[in-house]
Amino acid sequence: MTDSAPSVRRKYALFLIFTVISLALDQWTKALARQYLQPRGPLRPKVVIQGYFDLRYAENPGVAFSMLQDLPGGRVLLTLLAIGAFLLVLYYLRKTPIDNPRLHVALGLVGGGAMGNLIDRVVYGRVTDFIVWKVGVHEWPAFNVADAALCVGVGLMLLDMLLGWKSAKKIETKTETGTPPAKA
C-alpha cells in the first residue's frame, strides 16, 4: 500500500458521505412534503417565520427554482442532463487532487443534489419543491434540499477556484520577483 492510498480513500469517502447525506435529506424531506404539505394545497402554506419563510408544496417539471417549466420534451431532456451532470461530477472527482477536501465535499453536494432531483423526475415526472423564502413582497421560487445542496456545492467550487487562483497568483508574483515560493 502506498502513502497516498489513505488520501485517495478519503477523497472518495468525503464525496460519498456528502452525496449520500444530501440525497437522503432531500428524499426524506420531499416525502414529508408530499405527506404533510401536499394535502394543504398551495394556498395554505405552513408558515415557519411570518413574512420570511414558508413551507408550501409545489411540483416543478422544470429545473432548479422552477425555471424552464414549460420546456417541450423537458422531462426527457432534463433527465438526460441530470445524468450527464452526475457523470461529469464523477469524472471531475477522478481528476481532482487528493489534498482538496473542500472540492470533494462540494462535488458530493452537487452529486447528491443532482441525484435527488433526478430521482423525482424519473419516479414522479416532476420535482417536489416546498421551501419558500420571502422578504416583504418579494418571494423566491420554491426549492428543495437538492437545489440547496447544488447551490452550496457550486458555491464551494467557486470558492475553491477563487482561493486557488489567489494562491497561484501569489506564487507567480514571488517567482517574478525572485522570491522562492513558501513551502506548504
Nearest to 26 by CA among 105, 116, 106, 129: 116
Catalytic residue among 26, 54, 120, 147: 147
Residue 183 included in any domain: no
Q: Which residues contact 114 (CB under 8 A, 6 or more apart)?
A: 82, 85, 86, 89, 146, 150
Number of compact structural domains in the chain: 1
Question: pTM for the full model?
Answer: 0.82
Euclidean distance between CA atoms 184 and 163, whole angstroms: 15
Catalytic residue among 26, 54, 120, 129: 129
- Whether 26 sits among the annotated catalytic residues: the reply is no
Of the pLDDT bands very low, low, confident and very high (cuts 50, 70, 90), residue 52 is very high
Specify which residues 138 forms β-bridges with: 135
Residue 40 included in any domain: yes
Q: What is the pLDDT of residues 11-49, one digit of tens each?
A: 999 999 999 999 999 999 999 999 999 999 888 999 999
| Host domain of residue 95 | 5-172
CA dihedral 143, 144, 145, 151 (to 10 degrees): -20
Q: What is the pLDDT of residues 138-153, one digit of tens each?
A: 999 899 999 999 999 9
- Whether 129 sits among the annotated catalytic residues: the reply is yes
Cell digits for 87?
457523470
Residue 110 included in any domain: yes
Ranges assigned E (strand) in the chain: 46-49, 53-60, 127-135, 138-139
Residue 181 included in any domain: no
